[in-house]
Amino acid sequence: MSKVKLKQILEKLLKDRSISARELSRETGIPQSTINNFLSGRGPHKPEQVLLIARYFGTSMEFLLFGEDSRPPTLDDVFTEGLFEGWLKVKIERAIPNKRKG
């Protein structure tokens, strides 16, 4: 099961960030053949390699393997999910009231 999730999630991360398997290999030090195995759903996953990929993408091993993350969101997560912008807008609107023409 986790092989399928890793394959799907890794494909999406690479596509979303416009990164090739070759670039990921170069950045993480994981052989490109191993990354290609991940992308084809083959092979056992060495925990240290999954950890390197998780750190590279700023996510958890749990998310890469299972598509879920039980950790509470971090500030980085809030930034990427767009929640921060909405919160900031509300705070600014409260701090600077609308000027009414009278």
Is 74 domain-assigned? no
CB 10 within 8 A of CB 21: no
Tell me: pLDDT of 31 over 90.
yes
Task: Read off the DSSP letter of residue 13.
Answer: H
| pLDDT at 53 > cutoff 60 | yes
Find the domain containing 44 and state its range: 2-69
Type of residue at 6: L
pTM over 0.75: no
Q: Does residue 12 lie in a domain region?
A: yes
Return the residue matching tokens 């240290």.
48
For residue 8, the surrounding DSSP H or E stretch is helix 2-16
The total of structural domains in the chain comes to: 1
Higher-scoring residue by pLDDT: 26, 73: 26
The share of the chain scoring above pLDDT 90, in percent, equals: 36
What CATH number is given to the structural domain containing 63? 1.10.260.40
Helix (H/G/I), strand (E/B), else coil: 88 = helix
